[in-house]
Structure 1
Amino acid sequence: MLVHWFLAAVHLLAYALALWGVLTRGMAFRRVASDGVGARSVLLADNFWGISALILLISGGLRAFGGYEKGADYYLHQPLFHLKMTLFVIILLLEIAPMVALIKWRIALSRSAPIDVGRVSLFARISHIEALLIILMVVAATGMARGMTFG
């Protein structure tokens, strides 16, 4: 029972960290100057966002399919779980462009080269959309926790 509680707490805390990380990254993108000043703030927030996403994936996978919660059969037949996973996939797809750009930033900064800041406004918008999707995932999760079904 203690493991169930621990995994649930870690999963919920990872949502909080994810929301903070992606919102902070979005705001940091907006502050990046044309000369790249402020890029390190973006990268730091991105680190928190990435770590939280990994924790969400691992803790959620253990909870859904590791025998710690209601069981895989429940989740695979729960429409809100499918909604939650669909939102997660959308986040992953939205994340491709910022992730590639930030990998390039990390390489450029390690070489003391200039970074491409041409799409920071787009990446800020993407980050804020991802934050909204995270909130919707939490809403779906609370519905699942309450046994909500449709149909």
Structure 2
Amino acid sequence: MLVNWSLAAIHLLAFALGFWAVLMRGTALSRLAAGTGDAGRVLLADNIWGICALILLITGALRAFGGYEKGADYYLHQPLFHLKMTLFVLILLIELAPMITLIKWRIAKARGAVPDTGRSMLFARISHVEALLLVLMVIAATGMARGVTFG
């Protein structure tokens, strides 16, 4: 029982912190695009967002398929779980370009070079879309927790 509760708490906290981090990354990218920000803030928020995404993936997989919670059979037959996973995959797909670019920024900064920040506004928008998708994931999760089904 304590493990289930702990996994659920960590999972929910990762949603909350991840939501904040991806919004902060978007804000920092917008400021950078406007000439009033710095890449360091973007990279810090991105680090937190990445850690939270990893925690969500690990705790979610443990809860759904690791013998905790309701079990794989429940989740695999729950339409809201499929919606939640679709949203997660969508986040991963649209995150690819910002992730690759921000890795390049880190490499450039480590070499003492100035990163190419030309797509900062695009990545700010992507960050805000990801935040919206996280909210939709939480809505799907609350439906799952209450046993909402369609059929």
Which contiguous aligned blocks of 4+ residues in structure 1 show a shift greater than 3 angstroms? 33-37
Q: How many residues align?
A: 151
Q: Are the structure 2 counterparts of residues 112 and 74 from structure 1 closer, same or farther at C-alpha, using a change threshold of 3 Å? A: same
Kindly state the Cα deviation for residue 114 of structure 1 after the two structures are TM-superposed: 1.5
State the alpha-carbon separation in 2 of the partners of residues 99 and 78 from structure 1. Answer: 31
Deviations, residues 57-94 of structure 1 (Å, cap 9, x unaligned): 00000000011110000000000000000000000000
TM-score calculated relative to the size of structure 2: 0.97
SS, match of residue 115 in structure 2: coil
Residue 134 in structure 1 maps to residue 134 in structure 2:
yes
Percent identity (aligned)? 73
Gaps in structure 2 of 5+ consecutive residues: none
Kindly state the Cα deviation for residue 33 of structure 1 after the two structures are TM-superposed: 5.2
SS, match of residue 147 in structure 1: coil
Map residues 1-151 of structure 1 onto 2, 5 A cutoff: 1-32=1-32, 38-151=38-151
Kindly state the Cα deviation for residue 31 of structure 1 after the two structures are TM-superposed: 1.0
SS, match of residue 30 in structure 2: helix
2:23 maps to amino acid: L
Gaps in structure 1 of 5+ consecutive residues: none
- Please tell me whether the aligned partners of residues 35 and 114 of structure 1 are also in contact (alpha carbons under 8 angstroms): no
TM-score calculated relative to the size of structure 1: 0.97
- Please tell me whether the aligned partners of residues 36 and 117 of structure 1 are also in contact (alpha carbons under 8 angstroms): no
